[in-house]
């Protein structure tokens, strides 16, 4: 699984970080960082939920 964020859409509201902090982090500079681009399968449910709950539909999961 590969996590892709469309940074043109992302508005750094950190919703994804609230759901999957292992993968997404909004830092004090207000930018979103992807901590693991290819997270372990065990994180799939959380990453999928983050993608579903992203208010900007900025997250896609490949594979």
Partner 1 sequence: MESIAVVGASLAGLRAVETLRREGFDGRLTLIGAENHLPYDRPPLSKVMLAGGWDESNLSLRTNPYDDLDLDLRLGTRASGLDLDPARRAVLLDGGDRVQADGILLATGSQARTMDGLPGHELDGVCTLRTVDDARDIAARLDASPRVVVVGAGFIGSEVAATCRGRGLDVTVLEALPQPMVRGLGPMLGAVCAQLHRDHGVDLHLGAGVEGFEGDGRVERVRLVDGRTIDADLVVVGIGVVPATDWLEGSGLTLDNGVVCDATLRAAPGVVAAGDVCRWPNPLFDGELMRLEHWTNAAEQGVAAALRLVRAGPDEAGAEPFAPVPFVWSDQYDVKIQSAGRFTGEDEVAIVHGTTEEYRFVALFGRAGRLIGALAFSRPRNLMQYRRMIFERASFAAALEHAHAAS
Dihedral, CA of residue 30, residue 62, residue 1 and residue 16, to nearest 10:
30
Give how many residues touch ligand SF4 by CB under 6 A. 16
Q: Is 54 in the site for ligand SF4 (CB under 6 A)?
A: yes
Q: Which residue has the tokens 């004090």?
A: 28
What minimum distance in Å lies between the beta carbon of 11 and ligand SF4? 5
Q: Is 60 in the site for partner 1 (CB under 8 A)?
A: yes
- Vertex 60, ends 62 and 26: CA angle to 5°? 125
Binding site for partner 1 (CB under 8 A): 11-15, 17-18, 25-28, 30, 52-53, 55, 57, 60
């Amino acid at each position: 699984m590969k996590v892709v964020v469309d940074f043109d859409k992302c508005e750094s509201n950190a919703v994804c970080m609230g759901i999957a902090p292992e993968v997404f982090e909004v830092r004090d500079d207000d930018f979103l960082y992807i901590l693991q681009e290819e997270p372990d399968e065990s994180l799939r449910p959380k990453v999928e939920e983050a993608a579903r709950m992203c208010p900007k539909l900025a997250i896609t999961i490949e594979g």
